[in-house]
Chain A
Amino acid sequence: MLHTYDAVIVGAGGAGLMAALEASKSAKVAVLTKLYPTRSHTGTAQGGIGAALGNVEEDHWEWHVFDTIKGGDYLCDQDAVEIMCREAVEVVYDLEHMGLPFNRTPDGKIDQRPFGGHTREFGKGPVSRACYAADRTGHMILQTLYQQCVKQGVHFFNEYHVLDLLINQGHVCGVVAYEIATGELHTFHAKAVFFATGGSGRMFKITSNAHALTGDGMAVAYRRGVPMEDMEFFQFHPTGIYKMGILLTEGARGEGGILINGKGERFMERYAPTMKDLAPRDMISRYIYLEIREGRGINGKDYVYLDLRHLGRDVLNKKLPDITDFVQTYLGIDPATEPIPIQPTAHYAMGGIPTNYDAEVVIDKKNTVLPGFYAAGEVACVSIHGANRLGTNSLVDIVVFGRRGGRKMADYVKRTDLVPLPPDPEDYVQEQIARLLASHGGDNVANLREKMQVEMMDKCGVFRTAEHLRNVQQTLADLQDHYRQVTLMDKGKTFNTELLEAIELGNLLDLAEATVAAALAREESRGAHYREDFPKRDDANWLKHSLAYKTDSGIRLAYKPVTITKYQPQERKY
């Protein structure tokens, strides 16, 4: 079935909805999501959205800029960071005006709390910058934006899974989507396409990410020649529930929670004397593993404690109710009386589809724009997060760049005509689905996925070496061979989620390969990418973004410079 729109937005989390609100003011817009909008992963963000409102103590957006760049280990494009931190302030007020129920200060303003890596006066100590709604800030952002979309009459196609990006005459001109309820294919012909499909954390075994986070938008673009930028940088959040990976917000440490090892020591005091438990996530995750390696896990095991006992029941109930509930539900523990077993959990892709600060997709080292293609949020790499994202900045990213991209795209479609569709636009997807349904090789999707997740966690996680990366590279190549042999039991057209899980695994495998290739090439340690065989940052050779291209002869890596405005790289101490 053919549909024609000015613009198609894929993904209905914070970035997609923000783009939809902007673009649909003047353009005919469709939003496609493989879920229902309110199921999107934005809803699981907990602790807050960073903006230098200065409601609780003195703060300036310029301080936020510095913290973001230093937190990102100087791989951020500084012009984009300046835009983000400046616009964060007005966009938080906009969210409040839309009805977002932030917690309030006694004088009725938006309340703010400290968060990892956010400092006053360029690193002198923690600052209260995270604007929050209890520990369900993402839930409230998602609900509020969806409410506004209902008010504005935004047109949604729910449970439509996008499987291909259409490019013709050098322009992006649509997508092909699979209607989950019926198995029908739909071609959406549009002047512009906006990807806001989120991350790819399901390539790792222990993750905070939803089952749905399978890198769909990234993989679809990657197969159509769009490079993946900075894929070697994947953030592990320090405090996932042991073995389950469920996120426990950094806001818990913002409120005063501490990490303790098996000897009862507050070990972060040793590693980060100023910021302690509010050092950036990459560092804390590494130090947790170091403590464990040196035998100082709890009872010598592979976890440490997040201790919230001293916060008291009132703070837990008012400011951290959801994580209190998670800990009670999944561990049977009352955080007011017992410490919580935690381990680092795969959390956030800093890398993704390269864009400029207007969310236009750029495809080479000269930042050439691919006309008609936009991306924002975790699927994209602007890059504002550099080598390691600061807490709260994912929410800042989605609202600021979702909005900027939505505006830019609305302007673009006014000035542009539809580019004709390529011949037989659905052929590629039809063939992909037919192959999966017809295969009788006997391999099982879940088994292949499990193997990928375990290997990526062990060998391409917080610590990496050339040997381990080569090893996992070989494993992924084997898994790709087996993937061609997967057999599905469900051959039907109605709500065939087995077929979709198979397609999602294909997406994850392609992205895992790009991640490993970029990680193996980068012979330095920076932010979340830590090479034990190259433990130092190497600005002389590696102060640059990687671009991974998928070609017929394998992955080709290229590099592009980092935009530096005010802040030259310095040693990163907290």
Chain B
Amino acid sequence: MLVSVRIKRFDPDVDRKPHWETYTAEVEPTDRVLDALNEIKWHQDGTLTFRRSCGHGICGSDAMMINGRNRLACKVLIRDVGAKISVEPLRGFAVIKDLVVDMEQFFAKYRSILPYLINDNPPPEKERLQSPQERARFDDTTKCILCAACTTSCPSFWADKEYVGPAAIVQAHRFIFDSRDEGAGQRLSILAERHGVWPCHTIFNCTDACPRGIEVTRAIQEVKDAIVTGRV
């Protein structure tokens, strides 16, 4: 089928501001939007620039706004978005070129919540024991691929660029509720600060945007509850 793909373009070497260009591509309904972008890049306009790697929703490279919603281009099919497709970069990050945005601030916020297991006790010879129920407690947030679809769909983040954002809170949740971790107190005090969890107004855009189906808003709420009650 023929699809029309309207893409927000920006090349800092040439353009003063972004502009839209529209391409027509021949694709199958079962193709990914990424396939349409590749078709355009490979056969029509080699200057079109975007990140991509695994092509099936695991590496997190190709998050972008597709028809107004943050999606992974490799995880949304043409038949699900129709013959008129609009693509633009994630909102709220500086654009490097076309659909490529600067991820450095995003990863700096990720690092700020101490995203690693904290447990200074010497480990046992074999594994630390953890019951299936304890393991299930934080399963949902282990799925995060750091694609930034959630953070850049959040109106609170758009309004306050200092806000740590949903992705960093999801990563904090993954450790706060892990029975093997002893750093919950440190992380909760970081997230209790002004730019921690409180800018979240439970808008649910993040949950809607997550390509991994993580209940992001629920995870944020659980972290808020832990801060308020002092219990995890």
Chain A residue numbers with a CB within 8 Å of B42 are 444-446
In this assembly, does A151 line the interface, its C-beta being within 8 Å of a C-beta of chain B? Answer: yes
Say whether A150 contacts B123, CB under 8 Å.
Answer: no
Say whether B56 contacts A326, CB under 8 Å.
Answer: yes
Say whether B46 contacts A488, CB under 8 Å.
Answer: yes
Say whether A104 contacts B55, CB under 8 Å.
Answer: no
Instruction: Specify the chain A residue showing the minimal Cβ separation from B99.
Output: A495
Instruction: Specify the chain B residue showing the minimal Cβ separation from A151.
Output: B116
Say whether A44 contacts B59, CB under 8 Å.
Answer: yes
A433-467, CB under 8 A of B: which get 1 and which 0? 00000000000111000000000000000000000
In this assembly, does A5 line the interface, its C-beta being within 8 Å of a C-beta of chain B? Answer: no
Interface residues of A in 21-66 (CB under 8 A from B): 35-36, 38-41, 43-44, 53
Supposing A43-B58, A444-B42, A489-B46 touch, asked if A147 and B100 sit within 8 A by C-beta, the answer is no
Interface residues of B in 112-156 (CB under 8 A from A): 115-117, 123, 125-132, 134-135, 138-139, 142-143, 145-146
Supposing A38-B60, A39-B53, A181-B96 touch, asked if A98 and B143 sit within 8 A by C-beta, the answer is no
A199-223, CB under 8 A of B: which get 1 and which 0? 0000000000011100000000000
In this assembly, does B222 line the interface, its C-beta being within 8 Å of a C-beta of chain A? Answer: no
Alpha-carbon gap, A490 to B180, bound state (A):
50
Most buried by B among A36, A105, A134, A326: A36
Say whether B127 contacts A96, CB under 8 Å.
Answer: yes
Q: Give, as a whole number of angstroms, the nearest-CB distance from B87 to chain A.
A: 16
Alpha-carbon gap, A329 to B131, bound state (A):
32
In this assembly, does A492 line the interface, its C-beta being within 8 Å of a C-beta of chain B? Answer: yes
A317-342, CB under 8 A of B: which get 1 and which 0? 00000100110011000000000000
Chain A residue numbers with a CB within 8 Å of B45 are 489
Chain B residue numbers with a CB within 8 Å of A98 are 116-117
Chain B residue numbers with a CB within 8 Å of A551 are none
Say whether A104 contacts B131, CB under 8 Å.
Answer: yes
Q: Give, as a whole number of angstroms, the nearest-CB distance from A438 to chain B.
A: 15
Say whether A139 contacts B116, CB under 8 Å.
Answer: no
In this assembly, does B12 line the interface, its C-beta being within 8 Å of a C-beta of chain A? Answer: yes
In this assembly, does B225 line the interface, its C-beta being within 8 Å of a C-beta of chain A? Answer: no
Say whether A99 contacts B59, CB under 8 Å.
Answer: no
Chain B residue numbers with a CB within 8 Å of A211 are 52-55
In this assembly, does B49 line the interface, its C-beta being within 8 Å of a C-beta of chain A? Answer: yes
Say whether A148 contacts B77, CB under 8 Å.
Answer: no
Instruction: Specify the chain A residue showing the minimal Cβ separation from B42.
Output: A446
Say whether A489 contacts B47, CB under 8 Å.
Answer: yes
Instruction: Specify the chain A residue showing the minimal Cβ separation from B47.
Output: A490
Chain A residue numbers with a CB within 8 Å of B131 are 104, 106, 108
Instruction: Specify the chain B residue showing the minimal Cβ separation from A40.
Output: B59
Most buried by B among A44, A211, A492: A211
Chain B residue numbers with a CB within 8 Å of A497 are 41, 49-50
In this assembly, does B103 line the interface, its C-beta being within 8 Å of a C-beta of chain A? Answer: yes
Supposing A35-B59, A211-B53 touch, asked if A43 and B145 sit within 8 A by C-beta, the answer is yes
Say whether B43 contacts A43, CB under 8 Å.
Answer: no
Chain A residue numbers with a CB within 8 Å of B129 are 107-109
Chain B residue numbers with a CB within 8 Å of A488 are 46
Instruction: Specify the chain B residue showing the minimal Cβ separation from A495.
Output: B97
In this assembly, does A110 line the interface, its C-beta being within 8 Å of a C-beta of chain B? Answer: yes
Supposing A39-B53, A104-B132 touch, asked if A492 and B60 sit within 8 A by C-beta, the answer is no
Alpha-carbon gap, A246 to B35, bound state (A):
14
Q: Give, as a whole number of angstroms, the nearest-CB distance from A321 to chain B.
A: 9
Chain B residue numbers with a CB within 8 Å of A107 are 129
In this assembly, does A140 line the interface, its C-beta being within 8 Å of a C-beta of chain B? Answer: yes
Chain A residue numbers with a CB within 8 Å of B134 are 104
Supposing A150-B111, A326-B56, A330-B77 touch, asked if A38 and B145 sit within 8 A by C-beta, the answer is yes
A135-156, CB under 8 A of B: which get 1 and which 0? 0100110010001101100000
Say whether B123 contacts A97, CB under 8 Å.
Answer: yes
Alpha-carbon gap, A40 to B61, bound state (A):
10
Chain B residue numbers with a CB within 8 Å of A494 are 11-13, 96-97
Alpha-carbon gap, A486 to B141, bound state (A):
45
In this assembly, does A103 line the interface, its C-beta being within 8 Å of a C-beta of chain B? Answer: yes
Say whether B53 contacts A93, CB under 8 Å.
Answer: no
Say whether B30 contacts A330, CB under 8 Å.
Answer: yes
Instruction: Specify the chain B residue showing the minimal Cβ separation from A45.
Output: B58
Say whether A210 contacts B55, CB under 8 Å.
Answer: yes
Say whether B142 contacts A133, CB under 8 Å.
Answer: yes
Chain B residue numbers with a CB within 8 Å of A490 are 46-47, 49
Alpha-carbon gap, A306 to B53, bound state (A):
26
In this assembly, does A293 line the interface, its C-beta being within 8 Å of a C-beta of chain B? Answer: no
Chain B residue numbers with a CB within 8 Å of A36 are 61, 103, 107, 146
Chain B residue numbers with a CB within 8 Å of A104 are 130-132, 134-135
List the 9 closest A-B pairs by CB distance, nearest first: A99-B117, A446-B42, A108-B129, A489-B46, A147-B116, A97-B123, A498-B46, A151-B116, A39-B59
A interface vs B, CB < 8 Å? 35-36, 38-41, 43-44, 53, 93, 96-99, 101-110, 133-134, 136, 139-140, 143, 147-148, 150-151, 181, 210-212, 244, 246, 322, 325-326, 329-330, 444-446, 488-490, 492-498
| 5 A-B pairs (CB sep. < 8 Å) | A39-B51, A147-B116, A322-B58, A444-B42, A492-B47
Q: A35-B59, A147-B116 are in contact. List 10 more A-B contacts (CB 8 A).
A: A35-B53, A36-B61, A43-B59, A97-B123, A99-B180, A147-B115, A211-B54, A326-B57, A444-B42, A494-B97
